[in-house]
Amino acid sequence: MIDELEKIPVRIKELRNILEISAIDLAKDIGVPFETYEQYEAGTLDIPISILYKIAHRLGTDATVIMTGEDPKMETASVCRAGKGVQVERHPGYEYSSLAYNFKGRTMEPLLVFLDPAKTSSSMILHSGQEFNYVIEGKVKVTVDNREFILEAGDSVYFNAALPHSQCAIDIPSQFITIIQEK
């Protein structure tokens, strides 16, 4: 049986074909090399969460559709019970749980992030908009444009997400809330 993570590239390709957008054009539109996009769509390279949102935007859909195959349904309020967010593991050592996946027309994306210090890579990413990180437990090193911030439970950082940035757990498994607002 194919799991939800393996269905993501299939959904992207299906939506892209329905909309008659070539893979080359989609790669160009989201700002990644075509060879990288081919690996995303083939399922041989994990798709960063920021790229999932760019793809969803370009395909005129919600990221929830790409992640789950279902449209978000709530317009007034959406409750996410403990442990019930949509799970997405897009980078080694990072496990994301979307906390507002069922709210239509989101302008920001709140995610609960679990970091495993044994698996976390500190490769830098960037995306449009702004990002907020609030550490719930553990110790997290947040790097923004070559500046390092060591955050512990209760600490937070807000930054320009268009700058190269990364997060990694220090010594013990850690978790934080991130809120991403793309432009």
- Tell me which DSSP letter residue 69 carries: S
Comparing CA positions, the residue from 45, 41, 105, 51 lying closest to residue 77 is: 105
Residue 153 structure tokens: 């439970």
Average pLDDT over the chain reads 87
User: Which pLDDT score, from 0 to 100, does residue 2 have?
Assistant: 47
> What mean pLDDT is predicted for residues 37-47?
89
What is the number of other CB atoms lying within 10 angstroms of the CB of residue 118? 9
What pLDDT digit, counting tens, does each position of 2-22 carry? 466 678 899 999 999 999 999
DSSP state of 160: E
Query: How many other CB atoms sit within 10 Å of the CB of residue 155?
Result: 15
Strand order in the sheet with 139-144: 147-152, 139-144, 165-169
* Percent of the chain predicted with pLDDT > 70: 92
Residue linked to tokens 């994990």: 46
pLDDT band at 80 (very low <50, low <70, confident <90, very high): confident
Residue written as tokens 């992207």?
12
pLDDT of residue 61 exceeding 80, the answer is: yes
Q: For the segment 143-154, what is each residue's pLDDT rounded down to a tens digit? A: 999 999 999 999
92 pLDDT above the threshold of 70: no
* Distance, CA of 157 to CA of 13 (rounded, Å): 36
For each of the domains in the chain, give its residue range(s) and CATH number, in order of start. 4-68 (1.10.260.40), 107-181 (2.60.120.10)
| DSSP-assigned beta bridge partners for residue 158 | 132
pLDDT at 1 over 50: no
Give me the sheet containing 86-91, strands edge to edge.
Answer: 86-91, 94-98, 109-115, 174-181, 130-137, 156-160
The pLDDT of residue 158 is 97
